[in-house]
Amino acid sequence: MKLHTLTDATFGEFAEQNNCLVFFYADWCPLCAAARETLEHLPKERKADWEAAKVKLAELNLEHNFRTADFYGINSVPTVAAFVNGIPVEGKRGLQTAEEYSELLRIFSADANNI
C-alpha cells in the first residue's frame, strides 16, 4: 500500500475523497520513525483487513504543515487519526503497537461509514 504524502494544500481534498488513516509526524521525533515502520508494515501483514476496510494511509509532517495540524488540534507526535468523509473520527497519540493501530480499521466498516 502506498503511503501518500500530504501537505496543507492537499490534505483537505485527500481526506474528503478517501477514508484514511493519517500519520502526523516530525522529522526530529524518534518515536515517529518507529511508528512509521509499524504503519508501513501493517497493510502487508494484515492485507485482508486493509483491503476490506478500503482505507488509504497518508502522512503529514507537522513541521512543514502546521496549519493542518493546528486546525485539527494535533499537538503531539506521533499521532495517527482516522478520517471518514473528511471528518476526524478517532485517533491514537504516541507510539502504539501494530494491534492498536489496526483497531482503527473497525471505523471503516460499512456500518461506520454512515457518520
The per-residue pLDDT for range 56-105, each reduced to its tens digit, is 999 999 999 999 999 999 999 999 999 999 999 999 999 999 999 989 98
Report the CATH number at residue 70: 3.40.30.10
pTM listed for this prediction: 0.90
Structural domain boundaries, residue 74: 3-23+35-84+102-114
Total number of domains constituting the chain: 1
Is the pLDDT higher at 46 or at 73?
A: 73
93, part of any domain: no
19, part of any domain: yes
pLDDT for the residue numbered 43 = 83
91, part of any domain: no
C-alpha cell at 40: 508501513
- Taking the C-alpha atoms of residue 100 and residue 8, their distance in angstroms, rounded to an integer, is 27
- Taking the C-alpha atoms of residue 32 and residue 6, their distance in angstroms, rounded to an integer, is 16
At 26-36, the pLDDT tens digits run 999 999 999 99
